[in-house]
A and B are shown apart, each in its own frame.
Chain A
Amino acid sequence: MLPEIAIFGLSLALLFAVMQFILPIMGFKTQSNNYFVLTEWAATLQFVVLLVCFSCLAISFINNDFTVNYIAKQSALTLPWYYKIAACWAGHEGSLLLWICIVAFWTCMLVFFAKRMPLAFKATVLGILALMNFGFYVFLFVSSQPFSRNFVQVGLDGSDLNPILQDPGLLFHPPVLYMGYVGFAITFAIAAAGLIHNKIDQQWAIWIKPWVLLSWCSLTLGIVFGSWWAYHVLGWGGWWFWDPVENASLLPWLLATALLHILQVTKNQQQLRFICVLVAILTYIMSLLGTFLVRSGVLISVHTFATDSSRGIFLLAYLLIIATISILLLAYRYPKLCQKNSLLMISRPGLILCNSILLLVMAATVLLGTLYPLILEVLGIAKISVGMPYFNMVFIPLSIPLIFLMGLAYYSSWQGTSIKELLKSIALPLVIVCCLTTGVIIISPKTDSVIIYLGVGLGIWVIISSFVYLFKHSNIKLRLPITLAHLGVGITAIGISITSHYSQTLDTIIDVGEQVKLGNKTVEFVTLESMKSDNYRILQGTFKYNKKHYIYPQRRKYDVSQQITGQMGIKSGIFADVYIVLGEQVDQGWAIRMYYKPLIRWIWFGGILMFLGGMLSLVNLIYNKLRLETKL
C-alpha cells in the first residue's frame, strides 16, 4: 500500500511543481500579487508531499517490503534499521528521490526565510526552481522510479546493501553532500532571476549570500565526511584519491568558494557583477556535470551506481538545456553588467579577486583532468586515466600563491594599501612564521623536500595572519567566522604537507604472537578471534602498538552476499594515526598492511573549522537581519 501512496504523492508533487511554474507567469500577466502568494503555497505543499513520499520509502525499507524492486536490491532482512533508512539513498533511484526532496526543502526554506526579497522576484526564483525540479521528476518517472514493484519474487530476503556501504559514513555523507550540491540550484535560480529582472546589484548580492553560504557549508562538511569515510573504509590509507566523483564534488566547492569571496567584493562595490553571476551559474552547472559523470558511467570510479546509458542521455540533455539557457541569459545581459573595473591590485578586493581567479583556475584544471580521458578516448588516441601525479603537479603550484595571498589579504584594506605600508605590517608576522618553520624543520626528521616545509610555512603564515587580523581590531564577532574558516585552511595545509611526506607503509606477513617494527615502534600481533554480528561474521585481530595501545582490525563476511570486507583498525590521535588492515591468511601467517599517518586528522579538522566559519557567518547574517528588523 505504501508504495502506491508514494507514487500518488509523487504525481501530486509533480502537479504542485507545475503549478509553481505556471502561477508566477500568470502573476506577471495579470500584475496580481495573489498569484505570487499562491506560488509560495505550491512550493510549500510540494515539499510536504515529497516528505510523505520519502517517509513511505523509509517505512517500506523498515518493513522489509521486498516486493519493491529497489528495496529488494538494497536491503536485507538482517540489515540493522539505521542502515535500512540510509539504504534509501544508497542506490540511484532513491538518491534521485532524495535530490528532488532536498530541492523542495531548500525551496520551502526560501519561501519562509527570504523575507526581504520582493514577492515578484521570489516568485520568479520559485518558478525557475520548479522548472528545474520538473526535469528531475520526468527523469524519476521515466527511468528511475524507486517504487516499482514485482510481486513474483515474494519470499526473497533481499540481496543486501553493498557491504562497503554498511558504514556510519553512509548515514551522513550522501545527505549532507547533496544538501550542498542541490543547494546550488537555489543560488542558480536566484542568479537567473536576477538576470531576468536585470537586478544584479548590491541588494542581489545580499539576497544570494546566505544560500551560497548554506550550500557551501553543507558541501564542505559532505566532502570532509566523504574523505574520512574513504580513509577508514577503503583500506588504502589515503584521504583523497582524485577519483572522478571526488573531483565532481571538488569542482562546485572551488567555484562556490570563489563565489563567496567575489560576493563579498560585489556587496561593497558595484564591481565584478558579471563574473559574480557567471560563477554563481557555473557552480550549479558543475554540480550537474558531476552528477552526469557519476550516474552515466562514462568514467570508472569507486562510486559505482548501476549505470544505464538512457540515464546518461537524459542527464546530458538536462545539463545542456540548463547551460544553453544560462548562456543566452548571460550573453543578453552582458553589456549592462560589464563595467570598466578600476580595482587596485594591492587592496583587499584586489587580492580577493586574485585568489578567486586562482580558485577558478584550479577548478578548470580539475575539470580538464577529469574530462581528459574522455577527450582522448573520443579522439581515439588512447585509453588512459588521469591520476594523482597530474593533479599534484598542477594543484601544488596553484595552492602556494593562493595560500600566501590569503594571508596577505588580511593586512590590506578595502581602499587600497601602499606597498610600503603592507611590507611594514607583514614584517613582524613573517619573522614569527620563519622562526616557527625553522623550528619545525629542526624537530622533524631530515628530508630534502623543500615543498613540505613550504607547505608547513604557508600553513603557519595563514594561522598567524588570522590571529593578527582577529585581535588587531575591536569587532571580534564580525571577524571570528572569517578567521575560523581561514584557520581551517592553514591547518589543512599543514596536515596535507606532513601526512603526504612522513607517512609510512609496511606490508608484511606475521602470525599470532609475532612482532614487527613500524618506524621505531613495535607492533605485536596478540590474538585472533571470531565473532558474530547481526548480518555478518567477524574475524578480529588484536594488535598492540608501542606496548600500550590496542588496535582491532577486522574481516567481515556478510551472510547474504557472502562478500568479505575489511574493517580497518585505527588508533587515532591528534598527532598521528596508526592504521592496520588485516589481509588474507597465507602459509606463514596473515598478510598485514600497516600505515603510520602523522597529522592526518588535521586535514579534516581544518575542513570542520571551515564549515564552522561558514555557519558562524550565517548566524551573523541572521542576527544582523533580526537586529535590523527590530530597529525598524
Chain B
Amino acid sequence: MKRFKKIFTIRYILPLSLLLLVGYLLLVSLSNDPSKLPSALKNKPLPTLTLKEIFSDRPESIAQTIQGQVTIINIWSTWCPSCKTEYPLIKKLAKEPHINLTSIVYKDSRSRALTWLSKNGNPYQHVWLDEDGSAGIELGIYGTPELFIVDKQGIVRYRYAGAIRTTTIENNILPLVGQLLNEQ
C-alpha cells in the first residue's frame, strides 16, 4: 500500500511539476522583451555620422549638433508599418518636458519623408536623412523603428528595437532620460 502510494504520487507529481517549471519559464520569458537587444554600441560613443538635415538639405554632423544634450534618436521610415503605429506615442513622448527628440529617416527619399512630416506633424527637433542606409549600418540597426538614447557626452546609453509602447516610455525612456539629465 505504501509503495502504491509512492508510485501514485510520483507519476502525477513529477510530470506536473516539470510542466509547471516549463510554464514558469515561458511565462517569465514572455515579459522579457526580445526587442531589448544588447547594442554593440551601448556605452560607446555614437559613431561619427554626417547626414543631410532634411529641411535645409545640407549635410551636418549629428554628434556636433546634439553635443551636450541628452538626446533621443528615433530611426524610422515612411515604408514601415510599425513606424506608423508608434507615431502617436512618439508625438506624446515629444511633449514630455526636457525631451530632445531627433530622428533619422532610414532608406527613404527626402520628398516622401517631407510629405509624411507635413501630413502627420513633426515632433522632432532635427530630422536627418539616411537615404542609402549607410548610417543604419554604422548604428547596427535591425530594422525600423529603433530608438537610441545618447547622453551629454555623446555616448549611447540605451537602445530599443521595434515600435515603442506606453510602458516603454514610462518604465524605460523617461526614467533614464531623467537620470542622464542629472549626470554631470
A563 vs B82: C-alpha distance when bound (angstroms): 14
* Interface SS majority for chain B: helix
A324 to B16, Cβ gap below 8 A?
yes
B1 within 8 A of A: no
A585 (CB) vs chain B CBs: closest residue: B132
B34 to A300, Cβ gap below 8 A?
yes
Segment from B19-27, B52-60, B62-70, B118-126 that makes contact with A:
B19-27
A309 to B30, Cβ gap below 8 A?
yes
Which of B30, B81, B112 has the most A CB atoms < 10 Å from its CB? B30
Chain A: interface residue total (CB-CB under 8 A): 32
Tally inter-chain residue pairs, CB-CB below 8 A. Answer: 61
Chain A residues near B32 (CB-CB < 8 A): 298, 374, 377-378
Chain A residues near B26 (CB-CB < 8 A): 292, 298, 316, 319, 374
A357 within 8 A of B: no
Chain A residues near B2 (CB-CB < 8 A): none
- Give 30 pairs: A residue, B residue, CB < 8 Å, sorted on A: A159-B84, A298-B26, A298-B29, A298-B30, A300-B34, A309-B30, A309-B31, A312-B30, A313-B27, A319-B23, A320-B19, A320-B23, A324-B19, A327-B15, A327-B16, A331-B11, A334-B11, A371-B25, A374-B25, A374-B26, A374-B32, A377-B32, A378-B25, A378-B32, A383-B38, A561-B79, A562-B79, A562-B109, A562-B112, A563-B79
| Also in contact, A378 and B28, with CB within 8 A (given A320-B23, A562-B78, A563-B79) | yes
Binary interface profile of A, 283-305, with partner B (CB < 8 Å = 1, else 0)?
00000000010001111100000
A430 within 8 A of B: no
Tier of interface size on chain B: 20 to 34
Give me the 10 closest cross-chain CB pairs, A-B, nearest first: A562-B79, A374-B29, A312-B30, A327-B15, A561-B79, A298-B29, A331-B11, A331-B12, A378-B28, A320-B23
Give chain A nearest CB distance to B5 CB in angstroms.
13
- In B105-134, the 8 Å CB interface with A consists of 108-109, 112
A165 within 8 A of B: no
Chain B residues near A383 (CB-CB < 8 A): 38
A606 vs B30: C-alpha distance when bound (angstroms): 38
| Also in contact, A323 and B19, with CB within 8 A (given A374-B25, A562-B79) | yes
A586 vs B34: C-alpha distance when bound (angstroms): 34
User: A300-B34, A319-B23 given. 10 additional CB < 8 A pairs?
Assistant: A159-B81, A296-B30, A298-B30, A299-B34, A313-B27, A316-B30, A331-B11, A562-B79, A562-B108, A563-B79
Which of A327, A328, A335 has the most B CB atoms < 10 Å from its CB? A327
* Interface SS majority for chain A: helix
A299 vs B19: C-alpha distance when bound (angstroms): 20
> CB within 8 Å of A: which residues of B?
7, 11-12, 15-16, 19, 23, 25-32, 34, 38, 78-79, 81-82, 84, 108-109, 112
A378 vs B34: C-alpha distance when bound (angstroms): 12
Chain B residues near A563 (CB-CB < 8 A): 79
A371 vs B11: C-alpha distance when bound (angstroms): 25
- In A425-455, the 8 Å CB interface with B consists of none
Chain B residues near A292 (CB-CB < 8 A): 26
A267 within 8 A of B: no
- In A322-339, the 8 Å CB interface with B consists of 323-324, 327-328, 330-331, 334-335
Chain A residues near B82 (CB-CB < 8 A): 306
A313 to B30, Cβ gap below 8 A?
yes
A73 within 8 A of B: yes
A562 (CB) vs chain B CBs: closest residue: B79
B28 (CB) vs chain A CBs: closest residue: A378
Chain B residues near A297 (CB-CB < 8 A): 34
A375 within 8 A of B: yes
B81 to A73, Cβ gap below 8 A?
yes
A316 to B27, Cβ gap below 8 A?
yes
A375 vs B22: C-alpha distance when bound (angstroms): 9
> CB within 8 Å of B: which residues of A?
73, 159, 292, 296-300, 306, 309, 312-313, 316, 319-320, 323-324, 327-328, 330-331, 334-335, 371, 374-375, 377-378, 383, 561-563
**Which of B19, B23, B34, B38 is the one whose CB lies under 8 Å from A298?**
B34
Chain A residues near B81 (CB-CB < 8 A): 73, 159
A313 vs B38: C-alpha distance when bound (angstroms): 25
A378 (CB) vs chain B CBs: closest residue: B28
Chain A residues near B11 (CB-CB < 8 A): 331, 334
A377 to B29, Cβ gap below 8 A?
yes
Give chain A nearest CB distance to B151 CB in angstroms.
23
A108 vs B82: C-alpha distance when bound (angstroms): 39
Give chain A nearest CB distance to B4 CB in angstroms.
9
Chain A residues near B29 (CB-CB < 8 A): 298, 374, 377-378
Chain B residues near A73 (CB-CB < 8 A): 81
Chain A residues near B31 (CB-CB < 8 A): 309
Give chain B nearest CB distance to A145 CB in angstroms.
17
B7 (CB) vs chain A CBs: closest residue: A335
A547 vs B30: C-alpha distance when bound (angstroms): 55
B15 to A331, Cβ gap below 8 A?
yes
A323 vs B17: C-alpha distance when bound (angstroms): 12
Give chain B nearest CB distance to A548 CB in angstroms.
36
Chain A residues near B15 (CB-CB < 8 A): 327, 330-331
A300 vs B11: C-alpha distance when bound (angstroms): 35
Chain B residues near A296 (CB-CB < 8 A): 30
Give chain B nearest CB distance to A363 CB in angstroms.
15
Chain B residues near A378 (CB-CB < 8 A): 25, 28-29, 32
A311 (CB) vs chain B CBs: closest residue: B30
Which of A298, A334, A377, A563 has the most B CB atoms < 10 Å from its CB? A298
Chain A residues near B34 (CB-CB < 8 A): 297-300
A377 vs B32: C-alpha distance when bound (angstroms): 8
Chain B residues near A320 (CB-CB < 8 A): 19, 23
A524 vs B171: C-alpha distance when bound (angstroms): 56
Chain B residues near A309 (CB-CB < 8 A): 30-31
Chain A residues near B30 (CB-CB < 8 A): 296, 298, 309, 312-313, 316
Chain B residues near A306 (CB-CB < 8 A): 82
A363 vs B30: C-alpha distance when bound (angstroms): 23
Give chain A nearest CB distance to B25 CB in angstroms.
6
Give chain A nearest CB distance to B31 CB in angstroms.
7
Chain B residues near A377 (CB-CB < 8 A): 29, 32
Give chain B nearest CB distance to A74 CB in angstroms.
10
Chain B residues near A316 (CB-CB < 8 A): 23, 26-27, 30
B23 to A328, Cβ gap below 8 A?
no
